[in-house]
Structure 1
Amino acid sequence: MRNREVIKSAILIILVLISVFMTYRVWTFTPELTDLETDVNADTPSIGPKISKPIDSVIMPFRMINRNGTDVKGTSNIKDIKKVTDQMLSKEVKKVDVLSSESVVQLEDLSERYTILDFPDSVPSEMYLNQVLGMNMSYYPSVNFDRILVDTKSTNEANVYLLSENKQKAVKLQTTMKSHKFDQMNKEVAKDLKPYTGIITNETTTNEINQIYAPENAYSMNVYRYVTNKISVSDLNDVILGDSVIARSNEDQVSTYNNNTGISTVNEEKQTYRYTNLSEDENQQKDISKSITNSFKFINEHAGYTDEFRLFNTDQKTGKIDYQMFLNNYPVFNDDKLSSIEAVWGRNAINEYNRGLITTGVAVPSKKEADELPSSEEVRYGLASNGEIDFNKVTNMAIGYDLSLPNDELDNLQDTIEFTPKWYIKYDDEWKRYENGGLA
């Protein structure tokens, strides 16, 4: 009898402990959006094929660099970069350390061999680690970063560092990612890597971990031409303005439409669409993490990523998020912003939504040959020698494509666009085209 009471008591204690544990799991559970897909409902208005983009294909690095002592090689190939980020998916983080300095943070435990993942602008660490990589962590530090370092030489399990844009803060993550598996993956992608160089522009970039990295040469890039498809303004208005659309005016190739809360402007000459939600103007969302998450979901739900787009600029002050078109692994630029999607999220809805109306269709032969691009060292020397440029304000450089409409009559195909390779420089927080030692 006494044994039976003891057994009952033991079972009761076990059930209580299980209940406490399950309650703890429920209260500390954080959803991992890496496993969530934003399905495009058949009844939801859309502007393109109803294909959902995974978040880690839109919010991702735009190049990777392997550094081993003085040997520096890298790539912007999306497949190789994805192999690196896939290694970090859903890994557990055993310890989190936030490092800081009044000047430039020092990573004393970093070995001489590591992998760099570069982002074109700052990304909130809590959003990226949780929603994109789905890492299991006790807490997510509030540090915005633009570079990740992966060190697999120091320990059997990799250390991951997130560096802030001003390089005064770093987050060190001790992970369960196996170093030998990461190194094995790196050997597989080694054949695709090209020589890269580290560039010093100011006091912050004197350290190897903070240098600006760029390919030594452009390696014979081509001019590409595509037949264009045009996004239906009517479809876009259905998405943005809904059923109660009122056409207000149509003058000088500029049309305006509105509903009870907002107004959109279509410029037929520049092929751009701009929307402002007047009711959300005073309630703009300044939380960049929420702005990225909500704008990504909003664009994805109406199939707005009509080409390959990636997160490219984040404005902490205004809350504006910029998604940039990519072609053949390189960012695409255009003076009229035909190649970008700009979004500002309000408290409950989209506040601003600006985009180009053209998308790439079938590739067609181009008779134009690309001019040979200068080496990264020639670009560095040209910028440093230009008295009108403050070289300290150069914070990034990359090869990209200039999107343009052909204007030569003999070689002009109706409804086509051209992509011409150029060097682009991030100068004073803006990406500018490099031309003959200057910036355009």
Structure 2
Amino acid sequence: MRSKELFKTIILSLLVLMSAVLTYMTWNFSPDLANVNSHDSKDKHTNTIGKTLKGGMSQAITPYQIIHSNGDETEGMGATKNNVKTLIKPLKDQKVTHSERMHSQHNLIIPDLSNNFVVLDFTYQMPLATYLGQVLNINAKVPNHFNFNRLLIDKDHNGKLKLYAISKDRHDVVRMTTTAKSSKMIQALAESDKAMRPYSDIITNKDTIDKATHIFAPEKPKKLKTYRTIYNRISVDAMNSILFNDSVVVRSATSGTTTYNNNTGVANYNDQSEKYRYTNLSEDEDKSKNMKETIPSTFNYINGHGGFTDDFRLFSTDNDTGELTYQLFLNGRPTFNTDNLNQIKVAWGKKGIFGYARALLKTNVTIDSGGDSEISLPGAEEVRASLANNPQLDFEKVTNIALGYTMNDKPDNKDIEIQHNSEFKPQWYVEYNGKWHPYSKDGGLE
């Protein structure tokens, strides 16, 4: 009897001890989150909406046209990816051995510029150090905070290339001596000769009267094709998984706009306009206005998740707001759309993405519309004369005349399941007082 009581006591003691141990383990349990975090990070890192650009920044930070000025002859071409790659190849991985900044109060004249040089024209201004270092991989010491939107490529008497970076207002230039061989540029021009077409030299004001500062435009754009593009849609969930750090709360509105948010950000998507906009709430109110940081950072961010789903290129930089616009190009020419469905707008903060807006569309297939839809536009001289003689315009405020494509959005209907498509029609575009406008047949701007 006594041994039976002892056995019960031992069993009871063991049960109490086991209960105490289990309670202790429960209170002090700390799950191993290493694998979970690693898995989540991997998912977010590999979550893409398109293919990344393997060629780096030189595929998105490009000129919009390439000009060859040789004596009295001027030729040019649209900046297709192959054209750009060929012409900048002689400059890549070189060095700037000497640089000098020059300023002119009046018309900019470069005395040592030869009669045979190449022009890379950009629609935006950017830091010279960023373009040389990040795009061309050129080792260079150049003046700090110098922005340019035109680069001249010339040769010196030593068989090397000289570069002239010209500011947007055409009053400042940085002259650079490089280690690049002029023979390589001559070869590149020979390879591009078939793509070159006659261009006109246009003077609009006192800042464009020198050969280094002329406005260049295609002389006679004939038989230009129109194109039709059919799109695929980008998943809203894919965009949310890229931009939000954790799960989101969905709030739907009757207007067709759905709002997604969590503690770090908020996004809106309209299923009729197919536009998506994200704002990072964890960032400070001020966007970064340092383009030396913003341009490479936004490119790397967008490219990291395959955001350059089509031929998007940097088109404008706003130093006042810090916002950048990447715009869709077709055949090396910029496209324009009244609803901005052809744009990616981004801003950078102190620690990461500040804002991100785009249409959730990407090209499925693009075809030309056939021979019956070819268009012949008026020549550059006719456009110039019409603008100059228009009493409603201040011709001196014209800073660019370029060929582009008007993107006419043509959704078949409002049904989300119906294929979305657009037509691209060739059109003259004019940069007037800092903004781009389509040129109208009556000689004005729309």
Q: Which among 270, 282, 288 is matched to residue 285 of structure 2? A: 282
Matched, 1:302 2:305: yes
**Residue aligned with 2:91, SS:** coil
- Identify the residue that residue 66 of structure 2 maps to in structure 1: 64
Instruction: Give the distance between the partners of 1:55 and 1:387, measured in 2 at CA.
Output: 42
Residue number among 178, 183, 196 corresponding to 1:180 in the alignment:
183
Q: Does 1:356 align with 2:359?
A: yes
Q: Deviations over 1:63-119 (max 9, x none)?
A: 111111111011114222321111100112111111112223321111111111111
Residue aligning to 2:393: 389
CA contact (8 A) 1:218 1:373 kept: yes
Cα distance in 2 for residues equivalent to 1:353 and 1:193: 37
In structure 2, the partner of 1:159 is 162
1:316–1:154 distance in 2 versus 1, CA, 3 Å: farther
Matches within 5 A, 1:139-150: 139=142, 141-150=144-153
Aligned-pair distance for 1:370?
4.2
Q: What is the Cα deviation at residue 279 of structure 1?
A: 3.2
Q: What are the superposed Cα offsets for residues 50-74 of structure 1, whole Å, 9 maximum, x if unpaired?
A: 5545111111112111111111011
In the TM superposition, 1:310-325 aligns within 5 A as 310-325=313-328
Q: State the distance in 1 between where 2:206 and 2:368 align.
A: 46
Give the letter aligned to residue 69 of structure 1: G
Residue aligning to 1:416: 421
Which protein shows a greater Rg? 2
Once residues 54 and 434 of structure 2 are traced to their aligned partners in structure 1, the CA distance between those partners, rounded to angstroms, is 31
Residue identity over aligned pairs, in percent, reads 38
Q: Find the counterpart in structure 2 of residue 266 from structure 1.
A: 269
TM-score normalised according to structure 1 size: 0.86
Q: Report 1:122-271 matches (<5 A).
A: 122-139=125-142, 141-152=144-155, 154-271=157-274
Does structure 1 retain, via aligned residues, the 8 Å contact 2:247–2:262? yes
1:18-66 CA-partner distances (Å, limit 9, x unpaired): xxxxxxxxxxxxxxxxxxxxxx988432222455451111111121111
* Gap runs ≥5 in structure 1: 1-39
- Give how far 1:364 is off: 4.8
Structure 2 unaligned residues grouped into runs of 5+: 1-41
Q: Is 2:383 the counterpart of 1:374? A: no
C-alpha distance in structure 2 between counterparts of 1:257 and 1:93, whole Å:
49
> 1:154 Cα shift?
4.5
Using the size of structure 2 for normalisation, the TM-score is 0.84
Q: How far apart are the structure 2 equivalents of 1:104 and 1:342?
A: 34
Q: How does 1:319-358 map to 2 (within 5 A)?
A: 319-358=322-361
Q: 2: CA distance between counterparts of 1:67 and 1:94?
A: 25
Matching residue's letter, 1:385 = N
Moved more, 46-55 or 327-336: 46-55
Q: Aligned with 2:132: secondary structure?
A: helix
1:205 counterpart SS class: coil
Matched to 1:332, the amino acid is T
Cα deviation for residue 281 of structure 1 reads: 4.3
Secondary structure in 2 matching 1:80: helix
Alpha-carbon separation, structure 1, partners of 2:100 and 2:178: 12
Conserved? CA contact 1:324–1:340, under 8 Å: yes
Given candidates 395, 416, 432, the residue that maps to 1:427 is: 432
CA distance in 1, matches of 2:246, 2:43: 18
Letter aligned with residue 375 of structure 1: G
Question: Secondary structure of 1:439's partner?
Answer: coil
Match of residue 118 from structure 1: 121
Mapped partners of 2:323, 2:183: distance in 1: 40
CA–CA separation in structure 2 for the residues paired with 1:388 and 1:270: 34
Whole-angstrom distance in 2 between the partners of 1:134 and 1:289: 15
Distance in 2, matches of 1:51 and 1:145, equals 25
CA deviation after TM superposition for structure 1 residue 250, in Å: 2.7
The amino acid across from 2:183 in the alignment is H
Q: What's the offset of the Cα at 1:308?
A: 0.7
